[in-house]
């Protein structure tokens, strides 16, 4: 039986392990927090820091393959493991490119992949000299996620909100739609694409609000999305699973926003709504089995369940019974004991042939279900 490790024990690791139960595989988690969402679903829990060279190297050296559920891992250790014959998904070289927003943007430019124009700023002083580039979006090079490393700069008065660290300043796009394309690539370089996902972002939290898949887009735009997302993944030259986030503007032009080299929040509906989920697919890739079927069984919506404003402490789920009583609604709680405002605590998937039913239920669930303390 193959031994496969996951760096990080959050909800992505948890859902990966749920899918692993269907396969002959022995699973390992490296994570500091013994109470993390993935801790009790793996065969072997190893306490350690995913950013520390020795912890990652020692964790990985007896394994057949290793993957990540978050980008902030020690890629030097992954590189050494790769040299010693451990299969790493994604390849450390691809992870290095993606992990740093500056390198990621330079990669798009080199590969002639459409992505908003940008300049690199090393610190606040350099940013202040770029008033002429506004309106723009400032994105910190390393360490930002879930909107925390992104600042919208509309006018020169906003410049002080930027990051005093290496970052990219990117032209602001007038976004018509935000689409996520999930693509799996196996060791042979064969790939499969999931249907596009329409992501609706909460402007206040800068966090995904709800999403619908398959996104309703005209064929010509879909072709562009597919071609550009595939170009990103081909350029990265790595097996694994990737989520390419793209903007579509009013004129139908498509730009890459960013890429995640792992299972992604925008693919959670695939558990119920597609024949092979993104989690199932990654096991197929890592265990070197045939790729799965990405087709949608039914259209789906996802609502993220985040900690309500004003509540911090032991999590309680208000309205859960009412949501569970709804038809074709699937509740996923991540098993986090503590809630705080904006923390991702779970998600709800709705499937329905009728798109109006999806948005109606998504909005109802957002009003009914609250994580409080």
**Which positions touch ligand ADP (CB under 6 A)?**
116, 137, 139, 144-147, 149-150, 170, 172-173, 175, 178, 201, 206, 245, 257-258
Cβ burial 333-372 (10 Å sphere, 16+ → b, else e) = bbbbeebbebbbbbbbbbbbeeeebbbebbebbbeebbbb
CA distance linking residue 167 with residue 161, whole number of Å: 13
Which CB sits closer to ligand ADP, 60 or 267? Answer: 267
Q: Which is closer to ligand ADP, CB of 5 or CB of 196?
A: 196
**Binding-site residues for ATP:** 101, 139, 170-173, 178, 257-258
Pairing status of strand 87-89 against strand 65-68? parallel
- Could you count the other beta carbons within 10 Å of the beta carbon of residue 32? 14
Residue among 145 and 275 whose Cβ is closer to ligand ADP? 145
Q: Rank residues 69 and 178 by Cβ distance to ligand ADP and give the closer one.
A: 178
Instruction: Please state the closest distance from residue 189 (CB atom) to ligand ADP, in A.
Output: 27
CB of 11 to ligand ADP, least distance (A): 16
In this structure, are residues 16 and 270 in contact, taking their beta carbons and an 8 Å threshold? no
CB of 186 to ligand ADP, least distance (A): 26
- Using the minimum distance from each CB to ligand ADP, give the nearer residue, 201 or 230: 201
Q: Provide, rounded to whole angstroms, the least separation between the CB of residue 228 and ligand ADP.
A: 15
Which residue's C-beta sits nearest to ligand ADP? 173
Are residues 130 and 119 in contact, defined by beta-carbon separation less than 8 angstroms?
Answer: yes
Q: How far is the CB of 267 from ligand ADP (least distance, A)?
A: 15
C-alpha 358/C-alpha 134 separation (Å) is 37
| H or E element at residue 180 | strand 175-185
Sequence ranges of the binding site: 101, 139, 170-173, 178, 257-258
In whole angstroms, what is the distance from residue 196 CA to residue 91 CA? 25
> Measured from the CB of residue 258, what is the shortest distance to ligand ADP in angstroms?
5
- For 223, other C-beta atoms within 10 Å of its C-beta total 12
Strands 344-351 and 300-306 come out as: antiparallel
Closest to 277 in 3D by CA, of 39, 23, 97, 40: 23
8 A C-beta contact, residue 361 and residue 352: yes
Which of 140, 281 has the CB closer to ligand ADP? Answer: 140
């Amino acid at each position: 039986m193959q031994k496969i490790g996951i760096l990080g024990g959050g909800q992505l690791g948890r859902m990966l392990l749920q899918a692993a139960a269907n396969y002959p595989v022995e699973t390992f988690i490296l994570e500091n927090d013994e109470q993390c969402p993935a801790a009790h679903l793996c065969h072997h829990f190893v306490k350690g820091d995913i950013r520390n060279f020795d912890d990652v190297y020692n964790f990985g050296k007896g394994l057949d393959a290793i993957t990540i559920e978050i980008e902030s891992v020690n890629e030097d250790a992954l590189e050494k493991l790769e040299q010693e014959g451990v299969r790493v998904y994604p390849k450390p070289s691809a992870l290095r490119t993606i992990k740093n927003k500056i390198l990621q943007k330079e990669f798009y430019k080199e590969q002639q992949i459409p992505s908003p124009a940008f300049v690199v700023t090393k610190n606040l002083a350099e940013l202040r000299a770029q008033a002429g580039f506004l309106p723009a979006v400032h994105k910190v090079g390393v360490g930002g996620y879930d909107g925390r490393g992104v600042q919208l700069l509309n006018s020169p008065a906003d410049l002080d909100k930027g990051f005093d660290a290496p970052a990219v300043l990117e032209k602001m796009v007038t976004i018509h739609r935000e689409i996520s394309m999930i693509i799996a690539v196996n060791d042979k370089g064969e790939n499969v694409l999931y249907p596009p996902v329409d992501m609706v972002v909460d402007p206040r939290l800068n966090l995904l609000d709800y999403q619908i898949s398959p996104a309703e887009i005209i064929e010509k735009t879909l072709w562009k999305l597919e071609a550009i997302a595939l170009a990103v993944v081909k350029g990265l030259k790595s097996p694994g699973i990737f989520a390419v986030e793209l903007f579509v503007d009013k004129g139908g032009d498509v730009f890459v926003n960013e890429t995640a080299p792992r299972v992604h929040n925008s693919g959670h509906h695939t558990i119920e709504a597609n024949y092979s989920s993104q989690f199932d697919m990654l096991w197929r890739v890592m265990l070197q089995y045939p790729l799965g079927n990405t087709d949608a069984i039914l259209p789906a919506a996802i609502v993220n369940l985040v900690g309500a404003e004003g509540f911090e402490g032991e999590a309680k789920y208000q309205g859960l019974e009412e949501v569970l009583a709804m038809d074709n609604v699937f509740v996923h709680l991540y098993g986090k004991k503590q809630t705080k405002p904006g923390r991702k605590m779970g998600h709800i998937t709705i499937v329905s042939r009728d798109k109006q039913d999806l948005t109606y239920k998504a909005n109802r669930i957002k009003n009914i279900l609250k994580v409080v303390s």
